[in-house]
Amino acid sequence: MVKEKQVRSTAAKQHIREILSKSETAMSQPEILEHSEGICDRVTIYRVLDRLLHEGEIHRAVGMDGITRYASCRQCDHDHGHQHDHLHFSCEVCGEVTCLEKVVPVLKLPRGYQAREASYMISGICPDCG
């Protein structure tokens, strides 16, 4: 019998969830920290993000700069396997990373490879900066 770790609702978690759900762009830990008004430590932010990630409330994408950014799940299809395989765009001018939830790359993984997580990132110039 495996004991499931119970999910606890805390102030930090609610706060971070709200920051992400209000954001138009995917946010990194430092960006979240800026908007958190000192509600918690930066380590806590990392840990809350991990939990939200595992609980399926948010997804992440790694930018060309190697920084992980998080975004809440919106248009993703929870009924069909809960995939977050849409494209992300990283602007080289303003630095913002945007979820392009409607753009889902099509590909065929060769035999033998088992996919668990995808990160599709294109960097360039976004409409606002172009």
Partner DNA sequence: TATTTCATGCAACTCTGTTGCATTAATTAC
Partner DNA sequence: GTAATTAATGCAACAGAGTTGCATGAAATA
User: Which residues contact DNA (rule: CB under 7 A)?
Assistant: 3, 5-13, 28-30, 39-44, 46-48, 50-51, 66-68
Binding region for a copy of itself (CB under 8 A) out of 15-23, 32-40, 43-51, 56-64: 56-64
- Using CB atoms within 10 Å of the CB of residue 47, give its burial: 0 to 12 exposed, 13 to 18 middle, 19+ buried: middle
Site size for a copy of itself, by CB under 8 A? 38
| CA distance from start to end of the chain | 56
49: helix, strand or coil: helix
- For residues 41 and 2, what is the distance between their CA atoms, to the nearest angstrom? 31
Q: Determine, following the binding rule CB under 8 A, whether residue 103 of this chain makes contact with a copy of itself.
A: yes
CA proximity to 41, closest of 22, 16, 64: 16
Q: Does 66 bind a copy of itself (CB under 8 A)?
A: yes
Q: How far is the CB of 42 from DNA (least distance, A)?
A: 7
Q: Which does 2 bind (CB under 5 to 8 A by kind): a copy of itself, DNA, none?
A: none
Structure tokens at 6: 């119970």
Is the Cβ of residue 55 or residue 77 nearer to DNA in the bound state? 55
